[in-house]
Every structure is written in structure tokens, then in C-alpha cells.
């Protein structure tokens, strides 16, 4: 990513053109890269997939002197957290389909920040809690920069960054966030296919650690592939529910959103969510009139057609192919959480809305599909 010659160094400034691409917490430095407004709007990932561009490392302390809080915007902002593979990229497109909104999708630096938080207090920690808070504060302020003072940013974190949800809400009393999910049955139907298995394994250790932090242990070596998918789902959804249960005061600024409800009534839901995130009725009304072509293309690469009908066909085909494995995994998840204080809340999110839970033991004994 970094190119030193013949490009001039990328100097941090108050605008978003110098983007904090990567952080090196142990060495106390940030890698800034040149990013255009078009990059922000079109890139599904602000990571290595941006490709080569002018870049330069800057010392943390020097950056803080150049960009003190007085030169950066407040940390309040709008955020999308999500479970992964649940429509978050499409939602970010729908909620930023206005020139006044600048989307930041999955910044690489957030992943490093999330992992550093997991390591706090361990021998391999990269910093202490106070040092971590410095990095967190600086990144939130940097991610809040826009070209025009009346613009706003909408940050979509990577799914492995859900442990940043609570500290991000706590950083400013007006920060608001969506926690996006799909029910577990739908999630399993989407993930139990060869092209998504790498995604399950790449985040497996993070999900297992996060789930253990929430009081549920599921050793990875004991899990089938469908159970591994359930652990991925549960580590995120249980965190959302745990925060709302433990911090009911945050309910005003954190909304749990089922992506299926967005597809059912897209314009109504986008207007409602925009009003929640941005506190602006006029902006929400404009976002209600989003470009309908956004619903007709694959969100991460809009060269390819993909719409809600095709999504439903693929889900139904996978349900037919892996029905037995899905049913058994739903029952396994219920047993795993049997003694958990939030078991009832999770139970309500296991299946699509309007589908009553069947007798798990009976369902699990039915034939159909071995686990992939």
C-alpha cells in the first residue's frame, strides 16, 4: 500500500482525503493514504483491496499535535455494526445515497483496534487501557471528517469489530448505531455453501473468544461446520442483546435491525433508520427516495445483478439442501444456551419472523442433508 517515491508524503489534515488506513499500536504510528470521495462511496472495503496509492507513516504523538481535538470534528456519528454476510453493505449504500453522507465501509484500522481491545490485560497486549482509549478517540475523530462541515459520516465496521460497539456509543452521548442481523436459520442457509466457508474459518477464533467473554464456551475443535456458523452468529447477536440488557439507557441510541425487515419494506425502513441515525427528517425523506438500482445489483460489486428475489431463491435452495443440518444446529444452539440469562431473547431470533419454533427433538430426527 505504501509508496514513497515519486509521490509526495501524505500529510494528515483536517479533511478526509488523508485516510488513516492502518495503525501500528506497538510502534505508535499510523499509515495515512490518499482516498478520494469516489473511493469512499464506491469501495466496499477500506483495506488492502483499495490498491496502491500515495501513503506515508506518521508518528502517533506527531499526529495528535497536528490534529488536536480542537481541529477535528466531534466524535458523534452514525455506525453500522453487523454479524457478517447479512446485507450490511447494501444497507450502507441505501443509507448513504445522498451527497451529504460519506460512507466508510470496513476500515482496516478498526480491525486492529478491536483486536487490541481483546488483548488488554494479557501478556501479549499491545497497550494498556488508557493507551487504547487514546487510539480509539483519535480514530473516531478521524473517521468523522468530511469535506464540508454540514456533511456526516456513516461508518460500517467489520463484523469482527462488534466489541467496539459499546465503547463507541460511550465515546459521545449522541452517537447512534444499528446492530444488523438475520435470524439464525436464514444465516445458516446463507453460510452453508462452499464459497462462504473460508469466511467462517477466518473469524472462528475471534468469535469463539468473544462468545466465551459473554459466558458461553464452545471449543472450536468440537464443532461441525454448521455449529461453527452458529457460533459466528451467536457471538455477535448475544453481544447486542447483552449490551441492551445490561445498559438499557443505550436503547435510545442502539437499534437491533433484522435485515429481512429492510427487504420487506425498503423505503419505509430506510426512512425510519435514517431518521434514527441522523436526527434529520428532511434527510430521511430524501434517503427514502434511494436509487432503486441499488436493490438490483450485488452490493460489493455492482457490476453483477443480484436482487431480493434471487437472494430468496438461493436461500430456499440451500434450505432444501441442508435442511437436516440447519434443524439440528438450531436445536444445538438452544441447548448450548439453555442456562444463559438471555436464552429466551436469543430464542426469539433463531427463526424468521412469523415462524413458530417446532419441536426441536422431532425436527432434528428428520432426515435431510449431512452437515457440509
Least confident range of 118-122, 352-356, 359-363: 359-363
User: Greater confidence, 206 or 367?
Assistant: 206
**3 state SS for 253-272:** CEEEEEHHHHHHCHHHHHHH
Res 19 pLDDT > 70: yes
What residues pair up with 101 in beta bridges, in sequence order?
152
What is residue 211's three-state secondary structure? helix
Express each pLDDT in 281-295 by its tens digit. Answer: 999 999 999 999 999
Res 369 pLDDT > 60: no
Those residues with Cβ within 8 angstroms of residue 136's Cβ, 6 or more apart along the chain or in another chain: 113, 164, 167, 168, 171
Cβ pair 355, 222 in contact under 8 A: no
User: Greater confidence, 11 or 257?
Assistant: 257
Those residues with Cβ within 8 angstroms of residue 280's Cβ, 6 or more apart along the chain or in another chain: 274
Is 135 among the domain residues? no
Res 363 pLDDT > 50: no
d(C-alpha 288, C-alpha 294), whole Å: 12
d(C-alpha 329, C-alpha 195), whole Å: 20
Is 291 among the domain residues? yes
d(C-alpha 105, C-alpha 189), whole Å: 25
- Total of domains in the chain: 1
Is 340 among the domain residues? yes
Task: Say how many C-beta atoms besides its own lie within 10 A of residue 35's C-beta.
Answer: 21
Any idea of the CA torsion for 260, 261, 267, 271, to the nearest 10 degrees? -120
Task: Say how many C-beta atoms besides its own lie within 10 A of residue 78's C-beta.
Answer: 24
Backbone angles phi, psi at 306, to 5 degrees: -170, 120
pLDDT of residue 356: 58
Is 54 among the domain residues? no
pLDDT of residue 237: 98
Express each pLDDT in 40-50 by its tens digit. Answer: 999 999 999 99
Least confident range of 116-125, 142-151, 176-185: 142-151
CATH number at residue 352: 3.40.50
Sign of CA dihedral 162, 163, 167, 170: positive
Give the predicted TM-score (pTM) of the model. 0.93
d(C-alpha 211, C-alpha 338), whole Å: 15
Could you tell me which of 218, 253, 252 has the C-alpha nearest to residue 235? 218
Q: Strand (E) positions, the chain? A: 18-24, 29-34, 55-59, 78-82, 101-105, 152-156, 176-181, 254-258
Is 53 among the domain residues? no
pLDDT band for 366, please (50, 70, 90 cuts): very low
Express each pLDDT in 83-131 by its tens digit. Answer: 999 999 999 999 999 999 999 999 999 999 999 999 999 999 999 999 9
Average pLDDT for the chain: 91
Is 170 among the domain residues? yes
d(C-alpha 42, C-alpha 55), whole Å: 20
Q: Residue 293 sits in which domain range? A: 73-100+151-364
pLDDT of residue 8: 52
Asked if the peptide bond before residue 264 counts as cis, ω within 30 degrees of 0, the response is no
d(C-alpha 266, C-alpha 295), whole Å: 9
Cβ pair 179, 255 in contact under 8 A: yes
Express each pLDDT in 186-241 by its tens digit. Answer: 999 999 998 888 889 999 999 999 999 999 999 999 999 999 999 999 999 999 99
Cβ pair 63, 138 in contact under 8 A: yes
C-alpha cell belonging to residue 202: 477466518
- The 8 Å CB, 24+ separation contacts for 213-217 are 213/163, 214/238, 214/239, 214/242, 215/340, 216/336, 216/337, 216/340
Is 290 among the domain residues? yes
Is 25 among the domain residues? no
The stretch 164-188 carries a mean pLDDT of 97
What is residue 190's three-state secondary structure? helix
pLDDT of residue 7: 52
pLDDT band for 4, please (50, 70, 90 cuts): very low
d(C-alpha 330, C-alpha 347), whole Å: 9
Amino acid at each position: 500500500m505504501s509508496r514513497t517515491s515519486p509521490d509526495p508524503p501524505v500529510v494528515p489534515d483536517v479533511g478526509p482525503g488523508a485516510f488513516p488506513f492502518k495503525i501500528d499500536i506497538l510502534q505508535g504510528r499510523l499509515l495515512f493514504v490518499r482516498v478520494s470521495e469516489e473511493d469512499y462511496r464506491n469501495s466496499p472495503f477500506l483495506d488492502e483491496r483499495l490498491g496502491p496509492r500515495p501513503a506515508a507513516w506518521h508518528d502517533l504523538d506527531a499526529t495528535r499535535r497536528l490534529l488536536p481535538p480542537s481541529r477535528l470534528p466531534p466524535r458523534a456519528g452514525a455506525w453500522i455494526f453487523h454479524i457478517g454476510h447479512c446485507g450490511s453493505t447494501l444497507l450502507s449504500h441505501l443509507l448513504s445515497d445522498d451527497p451529504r453522507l460519506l460512507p466508510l465501509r470496513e476500515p482496516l484500522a478498526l480491525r486492529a483496534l478491536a483486536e487490541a481491545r481483546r488483548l488488554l490485560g494479557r501478556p501479549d497486549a499491545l497497550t494498556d487501557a488508557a493507551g487504547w482509549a487514546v487510539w480509539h478517540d483519535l480514530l473516531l475523530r478521524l473517521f468523522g471528517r468530511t469535506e464540508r462541515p454540514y456533511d456526516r459520516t456513516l461508518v460500517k465496521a467489520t463484523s469482527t469489530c462488534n466489541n467496539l460497539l459499546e465503547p463507541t456509543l460511550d465515546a459521545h452521548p449522541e452517537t447512534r448505531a444499528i446492530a444488523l442481523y438475520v435470524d439464525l436459520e436464514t444465516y445458516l442457509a446463507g453460510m452453508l455453501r462452499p464459497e462462504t466457508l473460508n469466511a467462517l474459518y477466518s473469524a472462528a477464533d475471534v468469535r469463539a473468544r468473544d462468545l466465551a467473554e459473554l459466558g458461553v464456551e464452545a471449543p472450536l475443535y468440537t464443532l461441525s461446520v454448521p455449529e461453527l456458523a452458529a457460533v459466528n452468529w451467536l457471538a455477535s447477536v448475544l453481544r447486542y442483546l447483552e449490551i441492551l440488557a445490561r445498559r438499557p439507557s443505550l436503547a435510545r441510541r442502539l437499534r437491533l435491525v433484522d435485515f429481512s425487515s429492510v427487504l420487506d419494506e425498503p423505503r419505509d425502513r430506510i426512512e425510519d433508520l435514517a431518521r434514527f441515525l441522523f436526527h434529520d427528517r428532511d434527510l430521511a425523506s430524501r434517503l427514502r427516495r434511494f436509487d432503486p438500482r441499488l436493490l438490483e445489483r450485488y452490493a460489493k460489486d455492482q457490476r453483477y445483478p443480484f436482487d431480493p428475489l434471487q437472494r430468496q431463491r438461493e436461500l430456499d435452495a440451500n434450505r432444501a439442501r441442508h435442511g437436516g443440518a440447519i434443524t439440528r444446529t438450531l436445536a444445538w444452539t438452544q441447548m448450548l444456551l439453555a442456562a444463559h440469562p438471555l436464552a429466551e431473547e436469543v430464542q426469539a431470533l433463531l427463526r424468521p419472523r412469523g415462524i413458530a419454533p417446532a419441536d426441536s427433538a422431532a425436527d432434528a430426527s428428520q432426515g435431510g442433508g449431512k452437515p457440509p
